[in-house]
Amino acid sequence: MDQLVKASANAEHGLGLLNDHVLTHGTAFTVAERRQHGLEGLLPHAVETLERQAERVEQQLAVMQTDLDRYIYLIDLADRNETLFYHVVMSDPARFIPVLYDPTIAEACLKFGHIYRRARGMYITRDMKGRMAEVLRNWPVADVRVICVSTGGRILGLGDIGANGMGIPIGKLQLYTACAGVPPDSLLPVLFDIGTTNAALRADPLYLGIRDVPPTEAELDELVEEFVQAVQTVFPQCLLHFEDWKGTDAIRILARYKDKILCHDDDIQGTGAIVLAGLTTALQILNAQITDQKVFFLGAGSAAIGIADLIMSAMRVNGLTDAEARSQIMMFDTQGVVVTDRAGLAAQKRPFAHKMAATKPFNHLDVANESPQIVAAIEAFKPTMLIGVSTVQNLFTRHIVETMSRLNKRPILFSLSNPTEKTECLPQDAYAWSKGQVLYAAGVQFPDVTIDGKTFHPGQANNFYIYPAIGLAVHAARPKLLTDECFIVAAQAMADQVSDDLRAMGRLFPSQSNILETEVTTAVRVAEFMFDKGLAQVERPADIRAWIEAQLYTPTYAR
């Protein structure tokens, strides 16, 4: 029985069918379908193809002045006609990813309560304690395979924006489908509304969340435990994707659940994997080994910890001991170099603390004058790679970049903070100050840079290269757990798809224009690993790639 026949059987008829964002064909309903499903008179005369409908969308996008306007229009399109939305987005992912996600999503989240149109996903609030499973059953789809859940506690570089953070789970899950073909009906965005520390939002009359400060850590952990168990009960095959929780909460919650349930934290493991992928490509360009690298972090939050943990795991796989791997990683935060005798040192930072004299606290408001103490630490440590996860604009000063370039013939610089105004180093500065020798990537996509007639190609170290592929592998193989090794495999698979031509140009990541093919290839490698290690809970097929490709979502109208 096809979808439209099922719809009629379930009383989806006439306007109900026309307004169903999943089942509607809009003006593409045929004459026969209009007669059969009570749509006659409810549509204009013309019967259009999906391609013709997409032309109309393109024309409307073309006259819009800002990417925020395009974001609002596309989200509205998804609410009206999901098939047409994905047809448009998947036709040119390199163009639409920046509109639907970084960097536009930052502005969209800041204004979320003011541009709100209709509910998408679910809002689980702290006052639902004791009833979370009951509330989750209100979702109309029984077989949910991925939940992306955020508290809005640490959105990009914006900090705590509470319920305004709902744009992130929505956008993340749209990229599961747009980048990796994961069926959208199996995806559920959730905003876990625990309140917000943002007083300005709590005072905003259009703010849509709980107008209270977040609960204590112990109270939050009780709420999370109920939510996690409710998901296991209501959606037992579901991957829990934790996204943009406050850093200390994110680290603690991942540590508690990663070995118990099917889950991951994209800010920790996904960020670690995409940086490891870029580093792997850089080392292929340099013909160097990961065991010989020394990595210096500016910023020591959850993203830094996740990246460092995964780099350390990769170093161990390649023969280093834990102690040797840790010694090759240094972190610098608002208190200076992370050292062992620092009073009140957070537990997650201790593995990366160095036994040395403490440095003075760092004033991020006076980057230029504080830069010398970073340079001094770099001079002493002699890193080959500098990673910015600080959310401090222009933190990589000329002095710092020139020092890295003097210590390394081709320094590796990743300026990962986003949105754009939070980035530690603009690509034109990185290339100019390093005399074109830097291997550079940012958290957002910057255009090519031309200096003295030579064109450079900054990469985008964004997690959308990793987590949709992980989601597709999970959707197909249904593993018991996700291990760190799954992310290492994904990182290696992504790096292996950067062609010799791209590496010769200094590119560290595959082209976004063919992102579906790239993500499927990565998902196949991850699924193979899951079968090899006994993580998968389905029978291993003879041809894993063909098996996964048969499960991909294709945005076409079902007849």
What is the full DSSP assignment across 264-293?
EEIIIIIHHHHHHHHHHHHHHHHT--GGG-
Q: Which amino acid is at 167?
A: G
| Shared-domain flag, residues 292 and 430 | yes
* Residues 532-544 pLDDT 10s: 999 999 999 999 9
What is d(CA 535, CA 519) in angstroms, rounded to the nearest whole number? Answer: 20
Report the pLDDT value the prediction gives residue 5, as an integer from 0 to 100. 52
Domain boundary among 196, 231, 261: 261
| Shared-domain flag, residues 248 and 119 | yes
User: To the nearest whole percent, how much of the chain has pLDDT over 70?
Assistant: 96
Residue 83 lies in a domain: no
| Shared-domain flag, residues 183 and 239 | yes
CATH number of the domain bearing residue 162: 3.40.50.10380
| Shared-domain flag, residues 409 and 532 | no
Report the pLDDT value the prediction gives residue 362, as an integer from 0 to 100. 75
Residue 11 lies in a domain: yes
What value does the mean pLDDT of the chain take? 93
The answer, yes or no, to whether residue 10 has pLDDT greater than 70, is: no
What is d(CA 322, CA 390) in angstroms, rounded to the nearest whole number? Answer: 25
The answer, yes or no, to whether residue 26 has pLDDT greater than 90, is: yes
Report the pLDDT value the prediction gives residue 506, as an integer from 0 to 100. 87
Residue 348 lies in a domain: yes
What is d(CA 230, CA 225) in angstroms, rounded to the nearest whole number? Answer: 8
* Residues 459-506 pLDDT 10s: 999 899 999 999 999 999 999 999 999 999 999 999 999 999 999 888
Report the pLDDT value the prediction gives residue 358, as an integer from 0 to 100. 82
Give the residue among 479, 462, 556, 457 at the shortest CA–CA distance from 179: 462
The answer, yes or no, to whether residue 7 has pLDDT greater than 80, is: no
The answer, yes or no, to whether residue 8 has pLDDT greater than 50, is: no
Residue 52 pLDDT grade (very low, low, confident, very high; cuts 50, 70, 90): very high
Residue 279 pLDDT grade (very low, low, confident, very high; cuts 50, 70, 90): very high
Q: What is the DSSP letter of 413?
A: E
| Shared-domain flag, residues 126 and 144 | yes
Residue 91 lies in a domain: no
Residue 233 lies in a domain: yes
| Shared-domain flag, residues 275 and 255 | no
Which residue segment(s) compose the domain that 396 sits in? 269-464
Report the pLDDT value the prediction gives residue 194, as an integer from 0 to 100. 96
Enzyme catalytic residues:
101, 172
CATH number of the domain bearing residue 411: 3.40.50.720
Domain boundary among 261, 278, 298: 261
Give the pLDDT mean for 18-25.
Answer: 95
Tokens of 410: 């081709």
| Shared-domain flag, residues 246 and 360 | no
Lowest mean pLDDT of 243-252, 382-391, 403-412, name the range. Answer: 243-252
Residue 558 lies in a domain: no
Q: Read off the pTM.
A: 0.91
Domain boundary among 203, 237, 261: 261
What is d(CA 385, CA 413) in angstroms, rounded to the nearest whole number? Answer: 6
| Shared-domain flag, residues 387 and 483 | no
Residue 78 pLDDT grade (very low, low, confident, very high; cuts 50, 70, 90): very high
What is d(CA 356, CA 475) in angstroms, rounded to the nearest whole number? Answer: 47
Residue 175 lies in a domain: yes
| Shared-domain flag, residues 55 and 27 | yes
DSSP per-residue codes, 300-324 = -SHHHHHHHHHHHHHHHHTT--HHH
Residue 363 lies in a domain: yes
Residue 155 pLDDT grade (very low, low, confident, very high; cuts 50, 70, 90): confident
Tokens of 219: 């109270």
The answer, yes or no, to whether residue 27 has pLDDT greater than 70, is: yes
Report the pLDDT value the prediction gives residue 3, as an integer from 0 to 100. 59
| Shared-domain flag, residues 445 and 490 | no
Residue 423 pLDDT grade (very low, low, confident, very high; cuts 50, 70, 90): very high
Report the pLDDT value the prediction gives residue 69, as an integer from 0 to 100. 96
Tokens of 491: 């990182």
What is d(CA 194, CA 405) in angstroms, rounded to the nearest whole number? Answer: 45
For the four alpha carbons of 23, 28, 33 and 39, in that order, the dihedral sign comes to: positive
CATH number of the domain bearing residue 59: 1.20.1370.30
What is d(CA 422, CA 439) in angstroms, rounded to the nearest whole number? Answer: 20
Task: For the chain, give the number of residues.
Answer: 559
| Shared-domain flag, residues 122 and 228 | yes
The answer, yes or no, to whether residue 280 has pLDDT greater than 60, is: yes
Note the helical H segments in 149-258.
167-180, 199-203, 217-234, 247-257
Q: How many domains does the chain have?
A: 4
What is d(CA 57, CA 85) in angstroms, rounded to the nearest whole number? Answer: 9
With a CB cutoff of 8 Å and minimum separation 6, the contacts of 155 are: 106, 109, 161, 164, 165, 168, 244
How many C-alpha atoms does 351 have within 13 Å on its Cβ side? 13
* Residues 96-137 pLDDT 10s: 999 998 889 888 988 988 888 888 899 999 999 999 999 999
* Residues 288-339 pLDDT 10s: 999 999 999 999 998 999 999 999 999 999 999 999 999 999 999 989 999 9
Buried b (16+ CB within 10 A) or exposed e, 98-120: bbbbbbbbbbbbbebbebeeeeb
Report the pLDDT value the prediction gives residue 46, as an integer from 0 to 100. 97
| Shared-domain flag, residues 350 and 456 | yes
Give the residue among 295, 288, 291, 294 at the shortest CA–CA distance from 318: 291
Q: Are 309 and 272 in contact (CB under 8 A)?
A: yes
Which phi-psi region, left, alpha or beta, contains residue 110 (left: φ > 0; alpha: ψ -120 to 50)?
alpha
